[in-house]
Amino acid sequence: MSQNRRDFLKSTALATGAAMIINDSYKSVAGIIPADLKTGSMKLSYHPYTLELNHVFTIATNSRTTTPVMLAEIEMNGIFGYGEASLPPYLGESHKTVQEFLSKIDLSKYENPFDLETILNDIDNIEPGHTAAKASVDIALHDLIGKLMGQPWFNIWGYNKNKAPNTSFTIGIDTPEVVRQKTKEAEQYKILKVKLGRKTDKEMVETIRSVTNKPLTGDVNQGWNDKEKTLEMLHWLKEQNMVMIEQPLPKEQIDDLAWLTERSPIPIIGDEGVQRLADIKKAAGVYHGINIKLMKCTGMREAHKMLLLARSLEMKVMIGCMTETSCAISAASHLSPMVDWADLDGALLIKNDFFEGTKINNGKITLMDRPGIGAVKL
Ligand code: MG
């Protein structure tokens, strides 16, 4: 900034009394923190847990009945922040890798839990990868900070929780009989997500259409490979009232994806192809939009930055999840008022949720008026 500009801003601020307003706002922020609260030493702890799924879950690349997760806690002066790492096996993290990674983190050296940028950058720099492990700490730290401030994150970020959208509900690949059954069970959901990427794709969609006319989203999980056939299929899917499609081609087929994005009758959303903030600039033009997931981008801090960057590039935004408890789902839900599509059904797919938090009421994402991420232990 030039000297002239600085002087101009300084004199303008003084003239309008802005300097005084800034001082007052500092006082009011300080006032939220209880007077007796000593920002003390933070302690990280974690324990492994296994989620049991309601149905065998099949996507284009695998099937499973359980998902390992790691539940994390950060304690400071008797206040607990909760976090979670979800570890679907095909993504490469496990109880063992998360334990090893988290054992390298020493939160006791930080005096100020509000210094998120320093703390989370330090953790990110320990080693590349380990994105779910990093997310577990990020979420727990956000929860702790929200509790210290006495505010939910949708308030801290400035989002209206009543604008949270309907979530889609995922119908996995299965026999027509099971698909019909799952579609009937999904009666409360206004939008259904169909897993595609096998020879039975048209049959899957037609089976769902034999039960309901609700709008559909599709997720191919990189299961197709021919761009011309994919385009033909997308036209057919549009006629079936499919409103968007995730990752139709392998993420490496960048030119084919860009070709498709130019021609597709419905938005193409990058999921496997867009992991973190740094991937977004390259994704503009290749996809119409991105699917943000806390577990692949290291948590709420980076997810929020991704949302803002994608919006500034006029891209569509979807928020998604893995199979997760209501802890990580609640954390993600604070961004949902700002997205085009939300797929936050992860906690609905499990039998043994460990938390109570953001709920799905009549298909709509319903955030709690509670400080932090709004999840409490059951
Ligand atoms: Mg996906």
Q: Which one of 102, 131, 152 terminates a domain?
A: 152
The answer to whether residues 262 and 291 belong to one domain is yes
C-alpha distances in angstroms, 161 versus 210, 332, 367?
A: 35, 12, 6
Has this prediction a pTM greater than 0.75? yes
Distance (angstroms) between ligand 1 centre and the Cα of 194 equals: 10
Distance (angstroms) between ligand 1 centre and the Cα of 127 equals: 25
The answer to whether residues 224 and 317 belong to one domain is yes
Calpha distance 158→153 (Å, rounded): 8
Among left, alpha and beta (phi > 0; psi -120 to 50; other), residue 377 is: beta
C-alpha distances in angstroms, 243 versus 178, 191, 266, 277?
A: 23, 10, 6, 25
Domain presence at residue 104: yes
CATH of the domain at 109: 3.30.390.10
Tokens of 93: 């993290």
How far is the first Cα of the chain from the last one, in angstroms, to the nearest whole number? Answer: 52
Distance (angstroms) between ligand 1 centre and the Cα of 284 equals: 18
C-alpha distances in angstroms, 35 versus 23, 29, 38, 74?
A: 19, 12, 8, 21
Distance (angstroms) between ligand 1 centre and the Cα of 117 equals: 28
Positive/negative CA dihedral, 336, 148, 295, 64? negative
Q: Which one of 152, 167, 189 terminates a domain?
A: 152
User: What percent of the chain lies above the pLDDT cut of 70?
Assistant: 89
Distance (angstroms) between ligand 1 centre and the Cα of 119 equals: 29
Distance (angstroms) between ligand 1 centre and the Cα of 295 equals: 12
Structural domain of 322: 155-377
User: What percent of the chain lies above the pLDDT cut of 90?
Assistant: 84
Tokens of 104: 């390298």
The answer to whether residues 184 and 148 belong to one domain is no
Q: Above 90 in pLDDT, residue 4?
A: no
Calpha distance 310→304 (Å, rounded): 10
Domain presence at residue 57: yes
The answer to whether residues 204 and 273 belong to one domain is yes
285 vs 56, more confident: 285
Among left, alpha and beta (phi > 0; psi -120 to 50; other), residue 314 is: left
Is residue 371 within 8 Å of 149, Cβ to Cβ? yes
Distance (angstroms) between ligand 1 centre and the Cα of 312 equals: 22
Q: Which amino acid is located at 252 in the chain?
A: E
What is the bridge-based pairing of β-strands 364-366 and 359-361? antiparallel
Distance (angstroms) between ligand 1 centre and the Cα of 293 equals: 9
Domain presence at residue 26: no
Calpha distance 260→232 (Å, rounded): 10
Burial level of 301, CB count in 10 A (0-12/13-18/19+)?
Answer: buried
The answer to whether residues 139 and 171 belong to one domain is no
Q: Above 80 in pLDDT, residue 235?
A: yes
Q: Above 80 in pLDDT, residue 57?
A: no
- pLDDT tens-digit map of 344-359: 999 998 999 999 999 9
Domain presence at residue 11: no
The answer to whether residues 177 and 130 belong to one domain is no
C-alpha distances in angstroms, 225 versus 233, 267, 335?
A: 12, 18, 32
Give the pLDDT mean for 330-355: 96
Distance (angstroms) between ligand 1 centre and the Cα of 36 equals: 46
- pLDDT tens-digit map of 12-39: 433 333 333 333 433 344 445 555 556 6
Q: Above 70 in pLDDT, residue 6?
A: no
Distance (angstroms) between ligand 1 centre and the Cα of 81 equals: 28
309 vs 31, more confident: 309
Angle, helices 95-102 vs 131-149, to 10°: value is 60
Distance (angstroms) between ligand 1 centre and the Cα of 6 equals: 47
Q: Shortest CA distance to 137 belongs to which of 166, 175, 106? A: 106
- pLDDT tens-digit map of 175-196: 999 999 999 999 999 999 999 9
The answer to whether residues 141 and 265 belong to one domain is no
Distance (angstroms) between ligand 1 centre and the Cα of 219 equals: 5
Give the pLDDT mean for 165-171: 95
The confidence score (pLDDT) of residue 8 equals 41
Distance (angstroms) between ligand 1 centre and the Cα of 195 equals: 9
Q: Shortest CA distance to 371 belongs to which of 182, 48, 206, 149? A: 149
| Domains held by the chain: number | 2
CATH of the domain at 204: 3.20.20.120
Site of tokens 């460990």: 354
Q: Which amino acid is located at 325 in the chain?
A: T
DSSP string covering 286-302, please?
TBSEEEE-HHHHTSHHH
Q: Which amino acid is located at 29 in the chain?
A: V
Distance (angstroms) between ligand 1 centre and the Cα of 13 equals: 48
Q: What are phi and psi of 16, to 5 degrees?
A: -95, 0
Mean pLDDT, rounded, of the chain: 91
Is residue 349 within 8 Å of 170, Cβ to Cβ? yes
The answer to whether residues 206 and 122 belong to one domain is no
Domain presence at residue 103: yes
Task: Place 64 in a pLDDT band, splitting at 50, 70 and 90.
Answer: confident
The confidence score (pLDDT) of residue 40 equals 77
Task: Place 10 in a pLDDT band, splitting at 50, 70 and 90.
Answer: very low
The answer to whether residues 251 and 131 belong to one domain is no
Of the candidate ranges 59-73, 147-161, 167-181, 259-273, the one whose mean pLDDT is the lowest:
59-73
Domain presence at residue 193: yes
Beta bridge partners of 365: 360
- pLDDT tens-digit map of 85-114: 999 998 999 999 999 999 999 999 999 999
Q: Is residue 4 helix, strand or coil?
A: helix
CB atoms < 10 A from the CB of 142, how many? 26
The answer to whether residues 143 and 263 belong to one domain is no
Q: Is residue 208 helix, strand or coil?
A: helix
Distance (angstroms) between ligand 1 centre and the Cα of 158 equals: 27
Distance (angstroms) between ligand 1 centre and the Cα of 221 equals: 6
Distance (angstroms) between ligand 1 centre and the Cα of 154 equals: 24
Domain presence at residue 297: yes
Domain presence at residue 19: no
Beta bridge partners of 47: 71
Distance (angstroms) between ligand 1 centre and the Cα of 373 equals: 24
The answer to whether residues 133 and 186 belong to one domain is no
Q: Above 90 in pLDDT, residue 174?
A: no
Q: Is residue 242 helix, strand or coil?
A: strand
Q: Which one of 152, 172, 191 terminates a domain?
A: 152
The confidence score (pLDDT) of residue 36 equals 57
Distance (angstroms) between ligand 1 centre and the Cα of 270 equals: 8
The answer to whether residues 343 and 369 belong to one domain is yes
